[in-house]
Amino acid sequence: MILITNPFFVEDEIDILHSFLEEGLPLLHVRKPDFSELEMAQFIDQIKLEFRANLVLHNHHHLAEDFGIERFHFSEKERNNLVQSPARFSKPCRYKSTSTHSISDFNSLSTEFNYAFLSPVFKSISKENYHPEKDLFKEIKSRKNHQTKMVALGGIDSENIQKVLEKGFDDVALLGSIWKNENPLKQFKLCQQIALSYLQSQV
């Protein structure tokens, strides 16, 4: 299960993030699009060293080496730039992820991407007027790319996580369902429990 940071200010955010990581969150996507380089460095610096390997940077990738981060995320636009000018993205990076919005985009990804978000699956909780234009559960029946893990994003919560996994997604990413909840940690643990129970039942 993947968690994306709230793009906006959250009181006691670092403490909350540490709570998620201590509960076993494997991947935390650090997405703060309005952060300057200094603000991003200060943010990462507050996260315990033991959890740096769990971090995925969405921007200011050049900071990764200083903080021992080996995971980068690329937006759709950045991915296209990566293809056009690979030298611009030559910083050390063991793992790459990206965002897609159609099964055709997902199918066309190169094998360098370990996983990709496919969104929105449901109406977004965090973004107004952002909802699926196509039924992605039908779309993914046309999946041809099995080298890249397919991660569901958009409107994922405790009520639909199991359905998403049953329908063929490899993993889920959470954002609005956590940060819009009165008790983010409690909601995270509930989502985590449902996802793990389902995956264990498939073994």
Q: What is the percent of the chain where pLDDT is above 90?
A: 83
Q: Is 82's pLDDT higher than 80?
A: no
- Using DSSP's 3-state secondary structure scheme, residue 31 falls into coil
Model confidence pLDDT, tens digit, residues 31-80: 999 999 999 999 999 999 999 999 999 999 999 999 999 999 999 988 88
Does the model's pTM come out above 0.85? yes
Between helices 13-22 and 184-201, what is the axis angle to 10°? 20
pLDDT at site 103? 97
Hey, is 94 helix, strand or coil? coil
Class of domain 2-201: alpha beta
Residue 152: which pLDDT band, with cuts at 50, 70 and 90?
A: very high
Q: Please state, in angstroms and rounded to a whole number, the distance separating the CA atoms of residues 79 and 140.
A: 21
Instruction: Provide the 10 A C-beta neighbour count for residue 202.
Output: 7
Q: Averaged over 77-85, what is the pLDDT? A: 74
What is the structure's pLDDT at 151?
Answer: 98
